[in-house]
Amino acid sequence: MACAVSTEAAPPGFDLDGRWGLHAKVSIRPERFGALLYHFGTRRLSFLKSPTLLRVVEQLGTEPSARAACTAAGVAPQQLRAYAEALATLADSTMICPR
C-alpha cells in the first residue's frame, strides 16, 4: 500500500495502515544506539538501531496506525519504506503484533 506523500510502497505483507502494538511479553530497554527488545515468550532479543525507530515502536500503542506512529516519531516520507521494513521484521519475530 503506497503512502499518499511517497512514491514508495510498504513491504509486501506489512500493513502500515493497520493498528500495531508491542507484544504483551516484550520488554524494551532503551540504549544510546536505540534499544533492546526482549520477548519473554520466544526468548528472542532484537536490536533497534536508532532512537527514531524506538520512538516509532513506543508510539505504536497510542497511534491509530503504524503510519501515524512513524509520522508522530518524525519519520520523513522518503524514509517511510525503511521504517516499514524494520517494522515488518519486528512483526515477523512477534516483537510487535496487530492490536
Q: Is residue 59 part of a domain?
A: yes
Domain count, the chain: 1
Q: Is residue 12 part of a domain?
A: no
Q: Encode 47-62: b = buried (16+ Cβ within 10 Å), e = exposed.
A: ebeeebbbbbbbbbee
Query: What are 3-49's pLDDT values in tens digits?
Result: 333 334 445 568 999 999 999 999 999 999 999 999 999 999 999 99
73 has pLDDT over 80: yes
What pLDDT was estimated at residue 81? 94
CATH value at residue 40: 3.90.930
Q: Is residue 32 part of a domain?
A: yes
pTM of the model: 0.85
Residue ranges making up the domain that contains 26:
20-93
pLDDT above 70 covers a percentage of the chain that reads 87
